[in-house]
Structure 1
Amino acid sequence: MINVEGLTRTYGAFTAVDDVSFVCQPGRVTGFLGPNGAGKTTTMRVMVGLTPPTRGRVTIGGHLYSDIPNPGRHVGVLLDASAQHAGRTGREILTIGAQTMGLPASRVDEMLALVSLSDNEAKRRLRNYSLGMKQRLGIAHALLGDPSVLILDEPANGLDPAGIRWMRGLLKGYADRGGTVLLSSHLLHEVEIIADEMILIGRGKIVAQGNKQQLLAGSTTTSTLVTSLTNDQLAQALQAKGFAVTPAGEGLKVEVAPVEVGRVAAEQQIVLTDLRSGDGGLEDLFLQLTSDTQRETLPEGAPA
C-alpha cells in the first residue's frame, strides 16, 4: 500500500505539489493522470526518497522508503528509462541490480524473457537501445526483486501498440496477484483501460479521484449522438421537449442523456439506427476539470 498524506513540495515561491493526499491499495492499478508539469513526477520522486517533501509524507507498507531494508525487493521503481549507464549492456544493468539485491543470476534471464528482450538485444549497450527497448529494460529492472509495489512514471512512452497491450496485461496480472501499482501518464485512454482507480492532478492539486464510473458520474456534461430513419422528424420531436439539437454527421447531437432521446423516439415510433453518448469520456472530463489549472511552462530547475 502507498499512503500519501498532505504532501507539499515547493521550490522558492513555486509550489509543485500542493497538499496532495491519496492511497494506492494492493490488488489494484491506480492511474495518476495529469498534463505535463502537473506534479506527477515530483510526487513520485518524493515517494522513493529522491526529493525531500516540504511538508507531509509518503509511506509504502507503513514505512518511509529510506527506512525499507533492501528496498528493491519491496518497491519496483521506473521513473526514467534512460537513467542507467549508457555504456553498459542491458544484461549488465540487470546483473548489477540482481547482485545489489542479493538475487541469483537466473533472475536476470527470467526478467529478460518476461519483457521479450532477446539475447542479442541484451548484449547491446544502452546507448544503442530504442526508447521502447529502454522502457522494457526499465520495467524488467523494476520487477527484478519481485516487489509488492510498483511505481512507474510514463512507462508506455516509446512503446508501439503491441508493446502497450503487452504492458497492460503485465501490470494487470501483477495487480491480480495482489501487487500495488501506481502508474502515471498523460495518455488518458491507455490508463482508462487498465486502471481500477484514477487520480487526476492539475497544477499540483488533486482535482478528482475515483474509478471511471465515479468520475464520469460527476461530470456536468451530457450529450447524445443519434441517427434515425427520419432525422428531421426526430429533431422536431426533441426540440418540442425543450432539448437543444444540432446536426452531427449523418445524425444529430442532442444535449440530453441517451435514455431521454430513446424515450422520445419510442413515443414518436421513430426507428433509431444509432444511439450513443456524445461525451468524450475521461479525456473530456479531465480537460474540463483542469481547464483553469494547466500551465504551459515551469520555473527553471523545477521537475514535472
Structure 2
Amino acid sequence: MITVDSLTRRYDGITAVEDVSFTALPGRVTGFLGPNGAGKSTTMRVLVGLTAPTSGAATVNGARFAELPNPGLEVGVLLDASAQHAGRTGREVLTLASDTMGLPRSRVDEIIGLVGLTSDEAGRRVRTYSLGMRQRLGIATALLGDPEVLVLDEPANGLDPAGIRWMRDLLRGFADRGGTVLLSSHLLHEIEVVADDLVVIGKGRIVAAGTKEELLAAGGTQARSTSPRDLVDALAQAGIPSTISEDGAVRTDAEPARVGAVALAAGLALTELRSADGTGLEDLFLSLTADSRRDGAAA
C-alpha cells in the first residue's frame, strides 16, 4: 500500500507539490495522471527516497522508503529507463541488483525470461539497447526482488504494440495477485484499460481522485443515433444540454439511462449508448487540468 499524506515540496521558493494526499491500494492499479510539470515526478521521487519532502510524508506499507531494510524486496521502482549503466550488460545490471538484495543468482535468469529479453540481448551492453529493451530491463530490475509494490513512471514508453499489451497484462496480473501498482503514463488509453483507480494532479495539487468508474461516470454519456441532431434537440427539450463531437457522437453529462429514456420517448433509434469511457477519460483529463497544462501537453 502507498500512502501520500499532505506532501509538500518546494525548490528555492517554487512549490512543486502542495498538500498532496492519496492512497494506492493493494490489489489495484492506480493511474497517476497530470500535465508536464504538474508534480507527478516530484511526488514519485519523494515516495522512493530520491527527494526529501518539505513537509508531509510518503510511505510504502507504512514506512518511508529510507526506513525499509531491503527496499527492493518491498517496492520495485522504474522512474527512468535511460538511467541504467550504459557500459554494463543487461545481465550484469540485474546480477548487481540481485547481489545487493541478497538474492540467488538464479533469479536473474528467471526474471530475464519473464520480461522477454533473450539470452543474447541480456549479454549485450545497455548502450546498444533500444528504448523498449531498456524499459524491459528496468521492469526486470523492479520485479527482481518479488516486491509487493510497483512504482512505475512511463513504463510503456518505447514499447511496440505487442510490448504495450505485454506490459498491460503484467501489471494487471501483478495487481490481481494482491500487489499495489502506482502507474504514471501519458498514454491515456492504456491507463483507461488497466487502471482501477485514478489520481489526477495539476499545478502541484490533486484535482481529482477516485475509482475509474466514479470519475468516468462523472464524465457523462456518449450516444449515437441515426439522427444525432434530432437526439440533441430531444435532449434539449428535456432540459439536458449536449454536444455533437466531430465523429457524430452525442456527448452529455446525463446518465445513460436518462438519455435512453429521452431517445425512446422521441422515437429515436440509438446505435450506441454508454458511459463516456476512453474518449471520456481524455475529456475528463483535459477538463480537470485545463488551467495547468501547456498547449499540446498530453500528460
Corresponding residue for 1:300? none
Corresponding residue for 1:47? 47
- Whether the aligned pair in 1 keeps the contact of 2:75 and 2:151 (CA below 8 Å) is yes
CA displacement at 1:47 relative to structure 2 = 1.0
Amino acid at match of 1:194: V
Matched, 1:290 2:285: no
SS at structure 2 position matched to 1:22:
strand
Counting aligned pairs with the same residue, the percent is 63
CA displacement at 1:128 relative to structure 2 = 0.6
Corresponding residue for 2:207? 207
Q: TM-score, normalization: structure 2?
A: 0.89
- Whether the aligned pair in 2 keeps the contact of 1:225 and 1:248 (CA below 8 Å) is no
CA displacement at 1:286 relative to structure 2 = 1.2
SS at structure 1 position matched to 2:178:
coil
SS at structure 2 position matched to 1:88:
coil
CA displacement at 1:23 relative to structure 2 = 1.3
| Alpha-carbon distance in structure 1 between the residues aligned to 2:64 and 2:228 | 61
Corresponding residue for 2:146? 146
Amino acid at match of 1:286: F
Corresponding residue for 2:33? 33
- Whether the aligned pair in 2 keeps the contact of 1:172 and 1:194 (CA below 8 Å) is yes
| Alpha-carbon distance in structure 2 between the residues aligned to 1:129 and 1:213 | 38
CA displacement at 1:268 relative to structure 2 = 4.2
- Whether the aligned pair in 2 keeps the contact of 1:16 and 1:42 (CA below 8 Å) is yes
Change (3 A) 1:254 1:204: closer
| Alpha-carbon distance in structure 2 between the residues aligned to 1:260 and 1:153 | 39
Q: Which runs of 5+ in 2 are unaligned?
A: none
Change (3 A) 1:20 1:114: same
Corresponding residue for 1:123? 123
CA displacement at 1:244 relative to structure 2 = 5.7
CA displacement at 1:147 relative to structure 2 = 1.0
SS at structure 2 position matched to 1:159:
coil
Q: How does 1:250-269 map to 2 (within 5 A)?
A: 253=250, 255=252, 257=254, 258-269=256-267
CA displacement at 1:256 relative to structure 2 = 6.3
SS at structure 2 position matched to 1:69:
coil
Question: Which stretch shifts more, 130-139 or 274-283?
Answer: 274-283
| Alpha-carbon distance in structure 2 between the residues aligned to 1:268 and 1:115 | 54
| Alpha-carbon distance in structure 1 between the residues aligned to 2:244 and 2:217 | 26
CA displacement at 1:190 relative to structure 2 = 0.7
| Alpha-carbon distance in structure 1 between the residues aligned to 2:203 and 2:261 | 42
| Alpha-carbon distance in structure 2 between the residues aligned to 1:76 and 1:116 | 18
Q: TM-score, normalization: structure 1?
A: 0.87
| Alpha-carbon distance in structure 1 between the residues aligned to 2:229 and 2:43 | 53
Corresponding residue for 2:91? 91
CA displacement at 1:216 relative to structure 2 = 2.4
SS at structure 2 position matched to 1:82:
helix
- Whether the aligned pair in 1 keeps the contact of 2:29 and 2:195 (CA below 8 Å) is yes
CA displacement at 1:107 relative to structure 2 = 0.4
Question: Which stretch shifts more, 283-292 or 250-259?
Answer: 250-259
Q: How does 1:1-304 map to 2 (within 5 A)?
A: 1-219=1-219, 222=220, 224-228=222-226, 237=234, 240-241=237-238, 253=250, 255=252, 257=254, 258-276=256-274, 280-295=279-294
CA displacement at 1:53 relative to structure 2 = 0.7
Change (3 A) 1:12 1:158: same
- Whether the aligned pair in 2 keeps the contact of 1:112 and 1:122 (CA below 8 Å) is yes
| Alpha-carbon distance in structure 2 between the residues aligned to 1:201 and 1:268 | 41
